[in-house]
Amino acid sequence: MSKTLPVQKNEYIDVIFEDLTHDGAGVAKVDGYPLFVPNGLPGEKAKVKVIKVNKGYGFGRLMEITEKSPYRVEPECSIYKECGGCQLQHLSYKGQLVAKEKQVRDVMQRIGKLPNVKIHPVLGMEEPWRYRNKSQVPIGEHEGGLIGGFYQQRSHQIIDMETCLIQQEKNDEVVKKVKEICRTYGVRAYDEQKHKGELRHIMARYGLKSEEVMVVFITRTNELTNKKKIIEAIVESIPNVKSIVQNVNPKKTNVIFGNETQVLWGEEVIYDSIGDIRFAISARSFYQVNPEQTKVLYDKALEYAGLTGEETVIDAYCGIGTISLFLAQKAKKVYGVEIVPEAIEDARKNAELNGITNAEFSIGEAETVIPQWYEKGVVADVLVVDPPRKGCDEKLLQTIIDMKPKKVVYVSCNPATLARDLRILEDGGYQTVEIQPVDMFPQTMHVECVAQLILIEGN
């Protein structure tokens, strides 16, 4: 097989990087054959060792950079290369925003067949560090002592870590303190090979506006050595702690949470605000990890919806009601739908918390519930979707095309599935007016987008 390929395993070659993959590796092409090389940046010339060849693509190791990108910087984090939590710390923030805009433009052309759609420059952060309000740390043991940090790239080896530069500093302090307390009181880490031990993960949540703290222990069983003393020590040593929770996950699985959650001390929730809307956040609530940029994203969604106070709006994939409640401030009526029952429970509580009475929430698949509403005479003037990474369900896209709302606002965390779905909506009578990318996750390859579509007259 390899005889017909332009590169051989263990060969050293000179390349020029053209692009980045979705996980931040440099892409070079040798006679059209793509080679993926971690740490390479677009525009750089480099010497590379070929380490693996497949039929359609290969992998290389960066040996020497012979011509550097003007955007290359020294990573700020000491364990950046081992950790894998970030992919772009070796690329300056200006360079990251350029790369993310290019990523959106490329998929709109290649997948969406939308070469002329208006794509704005990415809205970035003034301070692209210390933005995450939730820290989930796997716990292990090393030489008999408790450690907690991140998994090394492509492994389940835990790197002990005291600080993470994309976490809120408060979360770092909380996790560090909780690890110390657990060590002091003899807590044993969960061993995934033997399926023994107690503590699997420590999670900290922090309300950016409220400054409230939640600590969550994820354990294998209900047991936690010296539980009472640990709770007392946390309450005594962590300012603003409002909630200490235990989640029990007895399964042999990589999934973090189990089904059983109990409050050990304090409240079941902490509170935070995005703009004027307050949210109650429980241990398992889905809540945006970068509230500062979420405000930027939702303000843009609200602008694209262009509400006057007379509209009926449907929010598909509404989660805990974050976008719905923003829209409800300007709409006549908002209907939200979401498949996760706990999220709908949270959405209803959040509506009540904010005194919002013109938002109604239903449990179910958007593609099933929305046609039922349609049959009952609920017709949306504006339809908002914020689907998971896999994009919208085909049935939902067909429902939108049949229902013909005048505007569709599509919030996306995956430009590739956004491009695919925009093509379907365009073929169904819509026009994509503009797309605004927003950087919710600096130092990583992820980019969110908001797209505005209008129904073409006569459809």
User: Which residue blocks in 4-63 are alpha helix, DSSP H?
Assistant: none
At 201, list the tokens. 């993960």
Residue with tokens 């919002």: 356
Identify the three-state secondary structure at position 333.
strand
* Cα 384 to Cα 420: distance, rounded to the nearest angstrom: 17
DSSP code string of 381-399: SEEEE---TT---HHHHHH
Q: Of 156, 142, 260, 140, which Cα lies nearest the Cα of 196?
A: 140
How many residues comprise the chain? 459
Distance CA 7, CA 11 (A): 7
What CA–CA distances, in Å, run from 231 to 224, 242, 265?
Answer: 11, 12, 7
Return the residue matching tokens 């106070």: 309
Q: Report which residue type is found at 180.
A: E
Backbone angles phi, psi at 36, to 5 degrees: -100, 125
41 C-beta neighbours (distance < 10 Å), count: 24
User: SS in 3 state form for 59-127?
Assistant: EEEEEEEEECCCCECCCCCCCHHHHCCCCCCCECHHHHHHHHHHHHHHHHHHCCCCCCCEECCCECCCC
Q: Contact 207/271 with Cβ under 8 angstroms?
A: yes
User: From CA 300, how far away is CA 34, in angstroms rounded?
Assistant: 37
State how far the Cα of 324 lies from the Cα of 298, in Å rounded to an integer: 10
The answer to whether residues 269 and 282 touch, using CB atoms and an 8 Å cutoff, is yes
Neighbours of 374 (CB within 10 A): 15
Residue with tokens 């699985």: 253
Rg (CA), the chain: 24
CA separation for the pair 324, 307 (Å, rounded):
13
CA atoms within 13 A on the CB side of 99: 34
Tokens 């695919």, located at residue: 420
Say if CB 85 and CB 166 are below 8 A apart. yes
Q: Decide if 318 is catalytic.
A: no
Q: Which of the residues 86, 392, 413, 449 is marked catalytic?
A: 413
- Catalytic positions, written as ranges: 413
